[in-house]
Amino acid sequence: MTTLPIAQILHRQGTWQAAPAGTMSRDYEGRFLRRKRLETDEGLPFVIDLKQTTSLDPGDALELGDGRLIEVIAAPEPLLQVTGPDLARLAWHIGNRHTPCRIEADRLLIRDDPVIGHMLEHLGARLDKVTEPFTPEGGAYGHGRTHSHEHGATAHDP
């Protein structure tokens, strides 16, 4: 029986410098992991085994047990490019529905969701289907994902 390398250490973008031994391209949903058998883009199988479910960001690196690094890459995926005369208002409506969104000066990018797209068109948005890596804004309360947070008072509130 072959033992697969195990990645239990995550290095965030900008905190590692060694040349990666490989890359791992995954879409937005595929970069939300805790424990899973994976394969690098070069074909090396390995197991990721983190302490908690974590949102991996492009430029992060997973460290295998032998010290090799696997760089995380955002894979292209189907998205909606949102443009229009009032991007701030459109961004507010997207955020109000807890929809992950990449915010740029002249456009917004969201996953290809026909229901959200229909709402945005009724608000005057222009939608174009594109295929690009998706790296939405992180949540206000921590790294990465914006879901699974509470809106009420918590133990850490004053």
pLDDT digits (tens, 9 = 90+) for 70-98: 999 999 999 999 999 999 999 999 999 99
CA distances from 112 to 130, 134, 143 (A): 9, 11, 23
User: Minimal CA–CA distance to 25: which of 110, 135, 143, 147?
Assistant: 135
Helix ranges (DSSP H) in the chain = 87-96, 114-122
CA-to-CA separations, 105 to 34, 86, 100, in angstroms, rounded: 33, 11, 17
pLDDT at 135 over 80: yes
Examine the domain organization and report whether 126 and 97 are in the same domain. Answer: yes
Residue 137 — pLDDT band, cuts 50, 70, 90?
confident
Tokens of 142: 């921590």
Domains held by the chain: number: 2
Handedness of CA 89, 97, 132, 127 (dihedral sign): negative
Tell me the whole-structure pTM to 2 decimals.
Answer: 0.82
Identify whether residues 41 and 64 lie together within a single domain: yes
Is the Cβ–Cβ distance between 23 and 73 less than 8 Å? yes
Q: Is residue 42 domain-shared with residue 63, that is, in the same domain?
A: yes
Shared domain for 68 and 80, answered yes or no, is no
Q: What is the pLDDT of residue 138?
A: 78
**Same-domain pairing of 11 and 66:** yes
* 26-75 pLDDT, tens digit each: 999 999 999 999 999 999 999 999 999 999 999 999 999 999 999 999 99
Angle ∠(67,46,29) on CA atoms, nearest 5 = 110
- Rounded Cα distance between 105 and 131, Å, is 19
Residue 139 reports pLDDT greater than 80: no
User: 154 in a domain, yes or no?
Assistant: no
